């Protein structure tokens, strides 16, 4: 494969594309934000004029976009991938979208002789920059084996979890656990702070026990600094939880705790905090308790 196409150069996509360039891959890139394209061109990428133009030049195309409608538009819309992609090519969608959308697009691409993999990621901007994302993949094993080395440039963990759509099901499970974990951190640390105990000392005391987690270690230092600069925005986590609850409804699975955390995130968005990092969930508890969890 001489060239890889990369469509979607946002908070996550840009550093992921950069890591591919650093690894020696030739990239053709496209985004509706021309500034993002220009940054990658300076790094050595070639500019694509549209999603379809990228697809016409590459045998492997990666998409990293905000939500299901965006992926559908890039694949099926005007100047989209489906009209220009060559039979035998592979589309790797690394966006976090609804599994039903993934399966719908995969079926249409298969009619063109194109295999699609869904490969959503976890780890946020820091791990996208480091190239240490967790990547969960759905699709045919034969195709996965062909492109695994590409994904390995962007992720420290690259796992095939099942057929097409399985990657996004896995990501929804991941997002439920992450959201509930961060909400629990917020609730617990606001309690400790309101009780007059130093939250930094609480964090250090519990992080080595059963309450310890990757989420606790990733988010607590930022919370203590009052730093809610987005690595993964609350508004995007809202999207994921809505997809999770819609999928749960289709499968007759309860989503009690997921629904409650979604309400918390939606309240924060209504307060103008939708673009904050999801570690900012703690601000919901801080507002109600009239206390801030910060370094002493």
Domain count, the chain: 2
Catalytic residue (choose from 171, 219, 239, 273): 171
Mean pLDDT of the 7-33 span: 97
DSSP string, 206-273: HTTSTT--HHHHHHHHHHHTT----SSBHHHHHHHHHHHHHHHHHTT---HHHHHHHHHHHHHHHTT-
To the nearest whole number, what is the mean pLDDT of the chain? 97
Domain extent, residue 83, equals 3-163
77 in any annotated domain: yes
Output the pLDDT for position 231.
Answer: 85
Mean pLDDT of the 144-156 span: 97
With a cut of 60, say whether residue 18 has pLDDT above it. yes
Mean pLDDT of the 205-227 span: 97
Asked whether residue 211 falls in the same domain as residue 259, the answer is: yes
295 in any annotated domain: no
Asked whether residue 190 falls in the same domain as residue 92, the answer is: no
Q: Please say which residue of 163, 196, 211 terminates a domain.
A: 163
Task: Report the share of the chain in percent with pLDDT over 70.
Answer: 99
277 in any annotated domain: yes
Q: What is the pLDDT of residues 87-129, one digit of tens each?
A: 999 999 999 999 999 999 999 999 999 999 999 999 989 999 9
To 10 degrees, the CA torsion angle through 36, 233, 213, 188? 160
Helix (H) or strand (E) holding 116: strand 115-118
Asked whether residue 139 falls in the same domain as residue 9, the answer is: yes
CATH number for the domain harbouring residue 81:
3.40.50.720
Mean pLDDT of the 39-52 span: 97
- Whether 171 sits among the annotated catalytic residues: the reply is yes
Q: Please say which residue of 148, 163, 178 terminates a domain.
A: 163
């Amino acid at each position: 494969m001489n060239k890889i196409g990369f469509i979607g150069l946002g908070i996550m996509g840009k550093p992921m594309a950069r890591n591919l360039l650093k690894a020696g891959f030739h990239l053709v890139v496209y985004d509706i934000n021309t500034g993002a394209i220009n940054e990658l061109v300076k790094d050595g990428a070639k500019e694509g004029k549209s999603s379809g133009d990228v697809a016409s030049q590459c045998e492997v195309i990666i998409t990293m976009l905000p939500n299901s409608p965006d992926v559908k538009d890039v694949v099926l819309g005007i100047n989209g991938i489906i009209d220009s992609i060559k039979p035998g090519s592979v589309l790797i969608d690394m966006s976090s979208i609804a599994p039903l959308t993934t399966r719908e697009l995969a079926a249409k691409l298969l009619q063109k002789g194109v295999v699609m993999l869904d490969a959503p990621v976890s780890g946020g901007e820091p791990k996208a920059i480091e190239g240490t994302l967790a990547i969960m993949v759905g699709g045919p094993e034969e195709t996965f084996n062909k492109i695994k080395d590409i994904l390995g440039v962007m992720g420290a963990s690259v796992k095939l979890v099942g057929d097409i759509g399985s990657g996004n099901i896995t990501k929804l499970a991941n997002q439920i656990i992450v959201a509930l974990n961060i909400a629990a951190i917020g609730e617990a640390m606001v309690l400790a702070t309101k009780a007059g105990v130093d939250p930094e000392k609480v964090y250090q005391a519990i992080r080595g026990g059963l309450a310890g987690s990757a989420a606790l270690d990733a988010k607590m230092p930022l919370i203590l600094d009052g730093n809610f600069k987005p690595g993964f925005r609350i508004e995007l986590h809202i999207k994921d939880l809505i997809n999770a609850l819609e999928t749960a409804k289709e499968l007759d699975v309860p989503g009690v705790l997921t629904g409650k955390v979604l309400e918390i995130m939606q309240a924060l968005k209504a307060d103008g905090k939708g673009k904050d990092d999801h570690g900012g969930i703690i601000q919901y508890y801080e507002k109600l308790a009239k206390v801030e969890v910060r370094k002493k």
